Amino acid sequence: MLKISETALRQINEIVERHKGRKGPVKLMLHDIQHELGYIPFEAMERIAEAANVSVSEVYGVVTFYTQFTTEPKGKHVVNVCMGTACYVNNAQVLLDKVLELTKSPVNGTSKDGLFSVDATRCLGACGLAPVAIIDDKVYGTALQTGLAEARIREIIAEERKD
C-alpha cells in the first residue's frame, strides 16, 4: 500500500470538509480527490466514510463500481481505448495494440517512465465515432479507423511525449 504525503492528506481533508453535510457527498468527494490527486488512496476512503457516516466498504464499493475512479496513481497522460461493441467491431483491438506498443505501457497499467497509463474501457458513449480513444480528456474518433490508426496514434502519442 502506498503511503500518502502530508500534502495529499491536507487536500483530502479540505475536500471532505467542503462537501461534508451536503446531500450525496461521497461521489462528489471522490470526484474531487481523484481530480486533485489523480487517484483515490485508501486513506481518502476512510476519511470520506467517517465524514459521510457510511462504512469504508460502501465507499470502496462506489470507487470500484465507477470506472472513472482508480486506487492506483496514473501516468502523466491517461489513454482510454473503448472496447465496447461498436468500437470493437471497428478494430479497437488494433488501436489498443498500437497504443500499447507506442506508450510501452501494459493494458490497464502505467508505463515504467510514468508518462502513460493505458486503460481498455467499456463503452465511452461515442459509438458513432468508433473506434474511440480518450487521451487526457480529449476524444479521438473516426480518424482512428484502421487505415489511419497507426499514423494518427503515433502522431498523438509523440505530441503528448513533448508535454
CATH number, position 110 = 3.40.30.10
Same domain, 86 and 22: no
71 within 8 A of 33, measured Cβ to Cβ? no
| 72 within domain boundaries | no
Does a structural domain hold residue 71?
A: no
- State whether 136 and 156 are in the same domain: yes
Residue bearing the bigger pLDDT, 109 or 154? 109
- Could you list the residue range(s) of the whole structural domain that residue 103 is in? 77-162
Q: Please give the pLDDT value at position 163.
A: 66
Averaged pLDDT of the chain: 86
- Eight-class DSSP state of 127: G
The rounded distance, in Å, linking the Cα atoms of 39 and 128 is 30
pLDDT of 133 over the 70 cut: yes
Residue range 123-152: mean pLDDT, rounded:
76
Residue 142 counted as domain residue? yes
At residue 144, the pLDDT reads 58
> What would the mean pLDDT of 18-36 be, rounded to a whole number?
85
One domain, residues 86 and 153: yes
Rounded CA separation 108/79 (Å): 10
Reported confidence tier of residue 138, pLDDT bands at 50, 70, 90: confident
Sheet containing strand 133-135, edge to edge, reads: 109-110, 116-121, 77-82, 133-135, 138-140
**pLDDT score for 21:** 75
Domain count across the chain: 2
Residue 105 maps to a domain? yes
Comparing 159 with 92, the larger pLDDT belongs to 92
126 and 60 co-located in one domain:
no
Any domain includes 154: yes
pLDDT in tens, 46-104: 999 999 989 999 999 999 988 778 898 889 888 999 999 999 998 899 889 989 998 99
Co-location of 88 and 150 in the same domain: yes
In this structure, are 38 and 90 located in the same domain? Answer: no
pLDDT of residue 150: 63
Assigned domain for 83 exists: yes
Residue 1 lies in a domain: no
